[in-house]
Amino acid sequence: MSKTNNKKAIPAKTYKDLETDDFEIVGGKKLHGEITTNTSKNGALGLLCASLLNKSKTVLHGIPRIEEINRIIEVMKSIGISVEWNGEHTLEIVPPKKFKMGEIDSLASSRIRSVLMFIGPMIHSEKKFSIPHAGGCKMGKRTIAAHQYGLEHLGVEINTTDTEYQIDASKMKAGEVVMYESSDTASENIIMAAAGLPGKTTIDFATPNYQVQEVCFFLEKLGVKIEGIGTTTLTVHGLKKIDIPIEYSNSEDPTESMMFLTAAIVTKSKLTVRRCPIDFLKLELLKLEKMGLKYESSKIYKAKNGGTKLCDITVFPSVLHSLHDKIHAQPYPGINTDNLPFFVPIATQAKGNTMIHDWMWENRAIYFTELNRLGADITLADPHRVYVQGATKLKGTQIICPPALRPSTMIMVAMLAAEGTSVLRNVYAIRRGYEDIAGRLSKIGASVKVIDRGI
Per-residue pLDDT reduced to its tens digit, 153-183: 999 999 999 889 999 999 999 999 999 999 9
pLDDT digits (tens, 9 = 90+) for 235-272: 999 999 999 999 999 999 999 999 999 999 999 999 99
| Phi, psi (deg, nearest 5) at residue 179 | -65, 135
- Which phi-psi region, left, alpha or beta, contains residue 409 (left: φ > 0; alpha: ψ -120 to 50)? alpha
If you average pLDDT over every residue of the chain, what do you get? 93
Q: Give the pLDDT score at 360.
A: 86
CA dihedral 264, 346, 28, 278 (to 10 degrees): -10
pLDDT digits (tens, 9 = 90+) for 96-131: 999 999 999 999 988 888 899 999 999 999 999 999
Q: Which domains does the chain have, with CATH numbers?
A: 16-38+252-452 (3.65.10.10), 40-249 (3.65.10.10)
| Phi, psi (deg, nearest 5) at residue 221 | -65, -25
Residue 344 has pLDDT above 60, yes or no: yes
Dump strand ranges (E) for 337-384.
350-357, 377-382
* Alpha-carbon span 197 to 119, nearest angstrom: 14
Residue 138 has pLDDT above 50, yes or no: no
| Phi, psi (deg, nearest 5) at residue 238 | -75, 160
Q: β-strands 301-302, 309-316: how paired?
A: antiparallel
Element (H, E) at 8: helix 6-9
- The conformation of residue 96, written as its DSSP 8-state character, comes to -
Q: Give the pLDDT score at 110.
A: 84
- Of the chain, the percentage scoring pLDDT greater than 70 comes to 94
Residue 242, CB half-sphere, CA atoms under 13 Å: how many?
31
* Alpha-carbon span 349 to 11, nearest angstrom: 46
Residue 36 has pLDDT above 80, yes or no: yes
**Does the pTM exceed 0.85?**
yes
Question: What residues form DSSP beta bridges with 395?
Answer: 419
Q: Give the pLDDT score at 17.
A: 59
Q: Give the pLDDT score at 5.
A: 39
| Phi, psi (deg, nearest 5) at residue 241 | -145, 135
Question: What residues form DSSP beta bridges with 401?
Answer: none
Q: Write out the DSSP string of 395-438.
A: B--EEEPPSSHHHHHHHHHHHHHSBEEEEEE-THHHHTT-TTHH
Report the SS3 class of residue 324.
Answer: coil
Cα maximum dimension of the chain:
62
Q: Give the pLDDT score at 363.
A: 86
